[in-house]
Amino acid sequence: MTTPPAPPQPCSLDPVVLDGWRWAPFLDHAVEALQRFHPVAYPVEEPFLRQEGATGSKANPVPVTTATWACSTDKLRQVRAACVEAGNAASVLNFVINPSSGFDLPFFGADLVTLPSGHLIALDLQPALKTDTQHTSRVWERLMPLWEHWQNFLPSGGPIPTEAEPYFSPGFLWTRLPLGDPGDDLIIKAVFPAFVAYLDLYLQLVREADPVDDERRQDLLAGQQRYVAYRAEKDPARGMLTRFHGVEWTESYIHGVLFDL
């Protein structure tokens, strides 16, 4: 007797396919660039791999999909992309690389957000230990030329909350762009190449990173935990995700998947 083959299980490495999703080239690039690090699946429960919802009005509902891609590698504890497509209401890629605390590495963070009010772009190599020059100076010295080059093409996004200050680098690329012209063009000509350049530098740092001793690991872990707790507590997407998918799903997603250290 032969048992029928089990249906394929959804997996965090499955490609994210979202109709009309404007950030697809960014995630495709990142997934491709990660291949040489031999990514393995990162456990994500099924309701968070893909979740459908709705926004808009009863008379005019807009379908919403939120999908997750995630992996880990020997030096990266969790690499994850939160992907939201809701037609004219929202299109988002929030992409964070969480290094293992056994390596002296920053976080990679990208928040690429399109709302009816415009695009909001945040890109950074964020420190776990901002006041520790051993942790920051090697990174910032290579990051600042990229920031100086690419921020030039993009208007500043304006002030960020002072309480967020400990979690940003001086190379924080931050802009708000209008929908349509010239925003869409700047996404192709400046935001995409900046994303590629920041990720390139990050992955170069990953290649170069050597294991740290146990005392250093404890310090890095403490810094990472502060950062992740801050991001979970202040997640600017909480309101949007709650409208789309409800409070219970959203809180589990934020604490159990997106910021889970």
* Residues lying near ligand DBV in the complex (CB under 6 A): 82, 84, 92, 94, 109-111, 113, 120, 122, 124, 160, 235-237, 239-240, 258
**Closest approach of ligand DBV to the CB of residue 128, in Å:** 13
**Closest approach of ligand DBV to the CB of residue 81, in Å:** 9
Nearer to ligand DBV by C-beta: 103 or 198? Answer: 198
Nearer to ligand DBV by C-beta: 27 or 216? Answer: 27
240's CB contacts (< 8 A; 6+ apart) are: 84, 90
**Closest approach of ligand DBV to the CB of residue 219, in Å:** 22
Nearer to ligand DBV by C-beta: 74 or 233? Answer: 233
Neighbours of 156 (CB within 10 A): 10
Nearer to ligand DBV by C-beta: 34 or 110? Answer: 110
The residue length of the chain stands at 261
**Closest approach of ligand DBV to the CB of residue 19, in Å:** 18
Tell me how far CA of residue 214 lies from CA of 101, 104, 188, 203, 228, in angstroms: 10, 12, 43, 23, 21
Q: Give one DSSP letter per residue of 209-233, joined into a string.
A: --BPPHHHHHHHHHHHHHHHHHHHH
